[in-house]
Amino acid sequence: MNTRAAGALAGPTPWGAEALWLQLEALLPGLSIEVLPRVASTNTLLLERARAGDVQPCLLVAEEQTQGRGRMGREWRSRAGASLTFSLALPLAVADWSGLSLAVGLALADALDPLPADPAEGAPRIGLKWPNDLWLLDGPLAAGGGRKLGGILIETVGAGASAGPGSPRLAVVGVGLNLLPQPEEGLSQGCACLQELDAQASAPQVLAGVAAPLLRALLRFQAAGFAPLAAAYARRDVLRGRPVSTTQAGLPEGRAEGVDAQGALLVRHGGLHRVVSGEVSVRPRAAVEAG
């Protein structure tokens, strides 16, 4: 175990971090784990370290996050015990980063809500809203009802001397999952929590269940990209078949028709348009009108 991990795990911990480290280090040698009682933002701290030259893989967990960030600069705070907030930083050499947030969301959803191989044998309780949200479904996926359960923020920074497509970059994958009921200000679709699925859910328990599947998914994405995951994503896609509004120029609204092999959202408005992560904000049109 390296120095950082040893320091972070000194003394008794409710997180079971040493057992988790043994599991993850087998997948990614050199990985360290830190559990901090309070931090402004796990993503920000890991990015600051990377820019200072520390690009070693690290799982950084915050019991409380005071300046957490979501997509497009939205605030994501967390209270100790009420949320699980962590960031996983690791170097990845990826030819095409498209669809990474979808792959991360799918890994988390599958770990929290395993589905049978045959879709006819069970419906998902956790859905995925393109490009980076997890929803707890209040009924069948086709019914369209759901509330936000968690979110993902992925940022990257150079991790080597070389540059260009396929060059290694340090990917910092930030995850926030609600454990207990949260304030719903600014969330037109409402807010859900994991204790609605499991009344005994705790941050250490959930971390132990999602960390290894997430790491394995990132390593698979490095090797094969998003295309092999498109069919699995479709089983949890909460936008597919629903009216949506977008901020993409020339595409104010349309009907979502799933995602393509690169993870772009397909929206039909006249013709079929590709919507790419980072360019637009997409939400169910009914929620926009209600807001």
- Distance, CA of 255 to CA of 257 (rounded, Å): 6
CA-derived radius of gyration, the chain: 19
Q: Is 71 a catalytic residue?
A: yes
Structure token pair of residue 288? 């926009």
Could you say which DSSP state residue 252 is in?
Answer: S
For tokens 């009682």, the residue is: 37
- Residues with Cβ < 8 Å from 5, sequence gap 6 or more? 21, 31, 32, 33, 34
What are the angstrom distances between the C-alpha of 125 and each of 66, 110, 136, 158, 192? Answer: 30, 10, 6, 37, 12
- Known active-site residue 125: no
The active-site residue, picked from 79, 216, 242, 283, is: 283
Length of the chain: 291
DSSP character for 264?
Answer: P
Say how far apart CA 278 and CA 251 lie, in whole Å: 15
C-alpha to C-alpha distance for 10 and 33, rounded to whole angstroms: 11
In the annotation, is 4 catalytic?
A: no
DSSP state string for 122-162: ---SEEEETTTEEEEESS-GGG--EEEEEEEEEEEEE-SS-
Catalytic residue among 49, 129, 147, 148: 148
Q: Could you tell me whether strands 32-36 and 58-62 are parallel, antiparallel, or unpaired per DSSP bridges?
A: parallel
Residues with Cβ < 8 Å from 150, sequence gap 6 or more?
108, 133, 134, 175, 176, 177, 178
Which candidate in 49, 71, 147, 240 is catalytic?
A: 71
Residues forming the active site: 71, 148, 283
